[in-house]
């Protein structure tokens, strides 16, 4: 089964009528919200808004371990994670949809492993390629099929938040090789890998990262939300198309 983890601007999924909703308490604590199971594009999927519904859980307080653990427990094998990001490099202008291929993790103080002795003993997973190759490829193919412009590849910088970055911090991330910046990409991706789940991300560039816009205008949450709302229909189309192909294959 496929799970869709929704980020900012995607706390609800229109056109998706859940049949069951489970608020799940795991050995790692409670999930961000109910896990909703229902049909999307004629296929059973699980939907989980990572900030809760309504959107109240800040990035550093999300119980990433409970979310991934509960999804695995429910029989999920693949996760498509949708996130809003700031754009750093020139191809990452607001409104662009990017399917990143790499991650740099700048977060701290988050519970970031299943291999801490709670349930599993120590293991060091390979994380050379953080996103699942097959799932990424299929999402990119689905976007091409729907003639939706996306960027194939980009380096996602995961920052701590909940504040946005300074312009110097963004220059540092750019020097490090980052193309986009968000607050929730880690440890979600590494936990999925630890759990043996295929995980890929679709990022919507909601704003120019700090200091990257031509004007001195402040980055506001309402601007971020309105750009995301403008892209949600495309994201849903990519995912529907992916699910249709999966049905046929
Ligand atoms: N920085 C970090 N996270 C974000 C941004 C940003 O500029 N925009 C949306 N999520």
CA distances from 197 to 138, 176, 178 (A): 16, 28, 25
**Structural domains in the chain, sorted by start:** 2-248 (3.40.50.1580)
What's the pLDDT score for residue 249?
45
pLDDT tens over the chain, length 249 residues: 999 999 877 777 777 878 888 878 999 999 999 999 999 888 899 999 998 887 788 999 999 999 999 999 999 999 999 999 999 999 999 999 999 999 999 999 999 999 988 888 888 999 999 999 999 999 999 999 999 999 999 999 999 999 999 999 999 999 999 999 999 999 999 999 999 999 999 999 999 999 999 877 787 888 888 888 889 999 999 999 999 988 554
The C-alpha atoms of residue 231 and residue 173 are separated, in whole angstroms, by 25
What's the pLDDT score for residue 247?
56
Q: 15: CA distance to ligand 1 center in Å?
A: 27
What's the pLDDT score for residue 54?
76
* Alpha carbon nearest to ligand 1 atom 3, residue: 182
Tell me how far the alpha carbon of residue 49 is from its chain's centroid: 10
Nearest atom in ligand 1 to the alpha carbon of residue 210 is 7
Q: How many CB atoms neighbour CB 168 within 10 A?
A: 10
Q: Give me the half-sphere count of Cα atoms (radius 13 Å) on the Cβ side of residue 189.
A: 28
Q: Is the CB of 228 under 6 A from ligand 1?
A: no
Q: Is the CB of 84 under 6 A from ligand 1?
A: yes
The C-alpha atoms of residue 156 and residue 136 are separated, in whole angstroms, by 14
């Amino acid at each position: 089964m496929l799970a869709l983890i929704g980020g900012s601007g995607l706390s609800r999924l229109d056109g998706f009528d859940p049949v069951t909703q489970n608020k799940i308490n795991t050995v790692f604590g409670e999930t961000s919200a109910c896990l909703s199971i229902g049909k999307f594009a004629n296929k059973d999927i699980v939907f989980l808004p990572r900030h809760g519904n309504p959107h109240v859980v800040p990035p550093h307080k999300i119980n990433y371990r409970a979310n991934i653990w509960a999804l695995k427990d429910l029989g999920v094998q693949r996760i498509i994670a949708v996130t809003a990001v700031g754009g750093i490099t020139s191809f990452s202008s607001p409104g662009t949809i990017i399917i990143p291929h790499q991650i740099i993790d700048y977060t701290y103080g988050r519970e970031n492993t299943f291999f801490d002795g709670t349930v599993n003993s120590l293991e060091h997973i390979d994380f050379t390629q953080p996103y699942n190759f097959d799932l990424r490829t299929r999402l990119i193919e689905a976007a091409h099929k729907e003639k939706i412009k996306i960027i194939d590849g980009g380096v996602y910088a995961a920052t701590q938040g909940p504040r946005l970055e300074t312009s110097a911090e963004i220059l540092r991330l750019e020097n490090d090789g980052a193309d986009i910046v968000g607050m929730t990409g880690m440890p979600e991706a590494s936990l999925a890998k630890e759990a043996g789940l295929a995980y890929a991300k679709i990022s919507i560039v909601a704003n120019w990262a700090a200091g990257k816009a031509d004007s001195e205008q402040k980055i506001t949450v309402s601007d971020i939300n309105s750009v995301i709302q403008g892209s949600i229909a495309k994201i849903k189309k990519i995912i529907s198309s992916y699910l249709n192909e999966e049905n046929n294959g």
